[in-house]
Amino acid sequence: MAQIPRGPRLDGTIGFLTAGYGFVSRWCERLHANRFATRFMLKDVVFIRGEEAARAFYQPDRFTRRGAMPASTVRLLQDKGSVQMLDGAAHRARKAMFMGMMTPVEIQRLVDDVDRIWRGRLPAWATQEQVALHDEIRTILCQAACDWVGIPLSASEVAPRTRELGAMIDNAGKLGPANWWASLLRLRTERWTGQIVEWVRAGSLGTAKDSPLAVIVWYRDPDDQRLTTKEATVEILNLLRPIVAIGEYIVFAALALQAHPEWRERLRAADETELEWFVQEVRRYYPFFPFIGGKALVDFEWDGHLFTHGTWMLLDLYGTDHEAAVWNDPNVFRPERFRDWDGSPYNLIPQGGGDELANHRCPGEAITIAVMKQAARLLTTAMTYDVPAQDLKVDLARVPAQPRSGFVMTNVTAV
């Protein structure tokens, strides 16, 4: 059996905190391999990247997500009792519940909410000296997400709920006080959401029977058991938080339009095909999740090496999306490359890969793409704006990465 090259001799944690999204690729290129062993957060791990690595990683029932990411990260992004913490038949049943919400009609309903709220904010933006898109889009998406799920959200609740959901996104990859603060904010969100679950079950809060809220509240598992209030709360947040996180991509879309003004002109008259190319390239090119983890449930062979039960692996998502063997000139933003894309679920994996029903791939990918497409339309056809001098650099050492300025706009005008 082939030996796995050795990465950092002591522990890779400091290296990751320094290099961020580029950490895995730097070591892979240095070692001339798409895998290497090291320690991470004082535990043995194998980092892997690339299409073939993703194909091996996403074999059904080969890995569990339990114990595969730092507890501080899991607490903010998933938490115990969520679909991501399940395996086998239990996971597939819970995943099917989520996939049932992702119908074209339901996705369009969310897109329409985003469009309505965004257009409703334009008159206010026009009166402001400057608008920070990152902050504003989170507020829009929080409102739209709650409306889509079926949760009533008063005007006074918008700001605190946006802040709480945003803190989960911003601090999941951090250690220490920032993570602790975000965890405290999450407890507030859970109390609010848990109360809503109990009101619906008690009949004191009505909701459409086919709303995502109702689907989760009344869901029964294969043993005919309802979710506990805590489990239902976690799964509701697993709808709200990822929708708010789409704002990270929308800011990157605005950044791409600023850096490549030819695409601003092109999208004004673009058909669905070119719009899809643009959105997919934003998802491929810009950083979102750095990597995703799994612990082997079984022994298996891959790339000439035997990996034993319990092996901890971290799959480099950003590095796989920039694999030179698959993506020609991977560090160049070029949406036209998707004209010839083979559609593989293993080489474009910004939110994870593999089959949506058979494994842990994000169930909301179709929602992400649809909302991003509508945002691109709004940015290019529903408004005009100026982008003043500011620091638009994206620091790949920061997770999640964003332009330092939050993408400030001035002279916003509704078209």
The closest alpha carbon to 102, from 361, 376, 374, 378, belongs to 361
pLDDT for 214 beyond 70: yes
pLDDT for 176 beyond 70: yes
> What is the chain's Cα-based Rg?
21
Condensed to tens digits (0 to 9), the pLDDT of residues 258-317 reads 999 999 999 998 899 999 999 999 999 999 999 999 999 999 999 889 999 999 999 999
Condensed to tens digits (0 to 9), the pLDDT of residues 125-143 reads 999 999 999 999 999 999 9
Q: What percent of the chain stands above pLDDT 70?
A: 98
Please enumerate in sequence order all residues whose Cβ is within 8 A of that of 400, keeping only pairs 6 or more positions apart, or say none.
Answer: 169, 170, 173, 248, 287, 288
CB atoms within 10 A of CB 79: 20
Q: Which residue has the higher pLDDT, 319 or 80?
A: 319
3-state secondary structure of 48: strand
Architecture of the domain defined by 13-414:
Orthogonal Bundle (1.10)
Q: Rounded to an integer, what distance in angstroms lies between the CA atom of residue 38 and that of residue 12?
A: 7
Please enumerate in sequence order all residues whose Cβ is within 8 A of that of 63, keeping only pairs 6 or more positions apart, or say none.
Answer: 57, 294, 295, 296, 297, 313
3-state secondary structure of 337: helix
Residue labelled with tokens 């009949």: 203
pLDDT on residue 357: 66
Q: Rounded to an integer, what distance in angstroms lies between the CA atom of residue 104 and that of residue 88?
A: 27
pLDDT on residue 207: 87
Condensed to tens digits (0 to 9), the pLDDT of residues 36-85 reads 999 998 999 999 999 999 999 999 889 998 888 878 888 888 777 787 77
pLDDT for 361 beyond 80: no
DSSP secondary structure of 127-181: HSS-EEHHHHHHHHHHHHHHHHHT----HHHHHHHHHHHHHHHHHTT--SHHHHH
Over residues 158-175, the mean pLDDT reads 92
The ranges assigned to domains in the chain are: 13-414
Q: Rounded to an integer, what distance in angstroms lies between the CA atom of residue 18 and that of residue 10?
A: 15
pLDDT on residue 273: 94
pLDDT on residue 172: 86
